[in-house]
Amino acid sequence: MRPVWWLLVPSLAGCGVFSRGESCIECDLVDDSGDDTPVRDTSTTSADTGDGGEDDSADTQTGDTDTDPAADTDPPADTSPVLDCSALDFAWPEAGSQTAGVRPTLVLGFTSAAPADLALSVVRDFDAADQPVAPLTWDAGRRWAWTEASVRLSAGTAHTMVAQTPAWRCELPFRTAPAPPYQLGASPRTFLLEPASVVAVEPPRTTLGLRSKLATPPGLVLAIQLQAGTGSELQVRTGLVEVTRSGGTVISATQACALTADATSATWNGPDFEAIVPSLTLPGALVGAPLAEGRLRGSFDGSNAKLVQLLVDGESDARVHYPQAHANACLASAANGLPCVPCAADNEPTCLRLRLADAVATERTGLTLEAHDLAWVEAGCTAPDTDAALP
pLDDT at 162 over 90: yes
Nearest of 143, 117, 146 to residue 133 by alpha carbon: 146
CA proximity to 294, closest of 330, 262, 257: 262
Q: How confident is the model at residue 34 (pLDDT cuts 50, 70, 90)?
A: very low
The model's pTM? 0.66
Query: If DSSP codes are grouped into helix, strand and coil, which group holds residue 304?
Result: coil
Indicate if the pLDDT at residue 210 is higher than 50. yes
Most confident residue range from 12-26, 78-92, 204-218, 315-329: 315-329
Task: Assign a CATH topology to domain 82-175.
Answer: Immunoglobulin-like (2.60.40)
Dihedral in degrees, nearest 10, Cα atoms 347, 352, 353, 354: -170
Three-state secondary structure call for residue 302: coil
d(CA 203, CA 339) in angstroms, rounded, equals 8
DSSP H helices in 131-179: none
Measured at the CA of 352, the angle between CA 351 and CA 356, to 5 degrees, comes to 140
- Largest distance between two CA atoms of the chain: 127
pLDDT, tens only, 168-197: 999 999 998 877 666 777 789 999 998 877
Alpha-carbon Rg for the chain, nearest whole angstrom, is: 36
Report whether pLDDT(92) > 50: yes
Which of 230, 253, 232 lies closest to 242, judged by CA? 253
d(CA 20, CA 282): 81
In this prediction, residue 73 has a pLDDT band, given cuts at 50, 70 and 90, of low
Q: Is 329 helix (H, G, I), strand (E, B) or coil?
A: helix
Identify which of 302, 295, 250 has the alpha carbon closest to the alpha carbon of residue 277: 295
* Residues 276 and 294 sit within 8 Å (Cβ to Cβ): yes
DSSP string covering 47-92:
PP-SSSS--TTGGGTSS-----GGGGSPPPP--SPEE--TTEEEEE
Q: What percent of the chain has pLDDT over 70?
A: 70
Which has the closest alpha carbon to 217: 288, 289, 291, 285? 285
Contact assessment for residue 315 and residue 344, using Cβ atoms and an 8 Å cutoff: yes
Give the pLDDT confidence score for residue 21 in this predicted structure: 41
Q: CA-CA distance, 112 to 325, in Å (whole number)? A: 36
Q: CB–CB of 280/294 below 8 Å?
A: yes
Query: Angle at CA 49, nearest 5°, toward 47 and 55?
Result: 60
**pLDDT band at residue 49 using 50, 70 and 90 as cut-offs:** very low
What average pLDDT score do residues 385-391 get? 52
What are the residue boundaries of the structural domains of the chain, listed by start?
Answer: 1-75, 82-175, 189-378
Report whether 338 contacts 351 (CB < 8 A): no
In percent, the amount of the chain with pLDDT more than 90 equals: 20
The pLDDT confidence band at residue 245, using thresholds 50, 70 and 90, is confident
Query: Quick check: 76 pLDDT over 70?
Result: no
- CA 14 from chain centre, in angstroms, equals 66
The answer to whether 149 and 106 are in contact (CB under 8 A) is: yes
Q: What is the pLDDT of residue 169?
A: 92
